[in-house]
């Protein structure tokens, strides 16, 4: 018997576009599990750094990735990132060394293969809201529920610095958009929402309205 088609709302977009907040609220509204795939790339980066591997050494990173020892158990409606038996904290996942190295780690094909497999496996949990850079284009390209959240560069840089993170948003976007494997693109069929000037609630309402129109949510 074939397994049922995955039920995944995909939310992609550049760094600090606000997609995490939107994805979290949409998941809460629907009772779906929220999956932040950026945290999976960040967790892999943390593990690489802890293992003493140079993030620029793609061969060493590729050899490490399949046995990095990461897992993603669900708690409080969202996937957590565990490494070596404990949850990594938001401070660790968003630390400066991770911010600096994550785009390099995310370019390594063996990293993407391992994490994309894990992301597809999460669909067995039931309805998901999954956010990232390649969710609608590569991970779940057949999803009928795709969104792309954009915002101006100035708004995104201001958002990151208000969160207290020293993060080179423009440089990360350049690396993420120009990499060979699964670059950041607007997925085919995705609804684009410009989140530069609207509130979080307005953005969430736009997503829920589109899902209602698509028949996923009762009117």
Cβ(140)–Cβ(121) below 8 Å: no
Q: Is 148 in the site for ligand DC (CB under 6 A)?
A: no
Sorted by sequence, the CB contacts under 8 Å of residue 130 that are 6+ apart come out as 8, 9, 10, 11, 23, 35, 37, 119, 122, 139, 140
Residues 154-193 that bind ligand DC (CB under 6 A): 172, 176
Within residues 64-123, the interface with ligand DC by CB under 6 A covers: 102-103, 106
Establish if 25 lies at the interface with ligand DC (CB under 6 A). no
Q: Give the residue, chosen from 32, 41, 46, 148, that forms a contact with ligand DC under the rule CB under 6 A.
A: 41
Contact with ligand DC (CB under 6 A) among 24, 133, 146, 160: 133
Using a CB cutoff of 8 Å and minimum separation of 24, what contacts does 47-53 make? 47/83, 48/101, 48/105, 49/97, 49/98, 49/101, 50/83
Q: How far is the CB of 124 from ligand DC (least distance, A)?
A: 19
Would you tell me which residues interact with ligand DC (CB under 6 A)? 15, 37-38, 41-42, 102-103, 106, 132-135, 172, 176
């Amino acid at each position: 018997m074939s397994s049922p088609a995955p039920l995944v709302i995909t939310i992609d977009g550049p760094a600090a576009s606000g997609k995490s907040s939107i994805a979290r609220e949409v998941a809460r509204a629907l009772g779906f599990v929220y999956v932040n795939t950026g945290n999976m790339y960040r967790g892999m980066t943390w593990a690489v750094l802890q293992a003493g591997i140079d993030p620029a050494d793609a061969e060493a990173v590729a050899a490490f990735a399949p046995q990095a020892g990461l897992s993603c158990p669900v708690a409080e409606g969202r996937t957590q990132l565990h490494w070596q038996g404990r949850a990594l904290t938001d401070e660790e996942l968003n630390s400066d060394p991770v911010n600096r190295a994550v785009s390099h780690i995310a370019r390594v094909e063996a990293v993407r293969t391992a994490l994309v497999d894990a992301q597809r496996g999460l669909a067995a949990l039931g309805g998901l809201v999954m956010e990232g850079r390649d969710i609608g284009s590569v991970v779940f390209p057949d999803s009928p529920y795709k969104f792309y959240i954009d915002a101006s560069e100035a708004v995104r840089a201001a958002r990151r610095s208000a969160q207290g993170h020293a993060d080179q948003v423009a440089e990360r976007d350049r690396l993420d958009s120009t990499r060979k494997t699964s670059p950041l693109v607007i997925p085919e069929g995705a609804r684009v929402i410009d989140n530069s000037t609207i509130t979080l609630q307005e953005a969430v309402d736009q997503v829920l309205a589109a899902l209602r129109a698509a028949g996923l949510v009762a009117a």
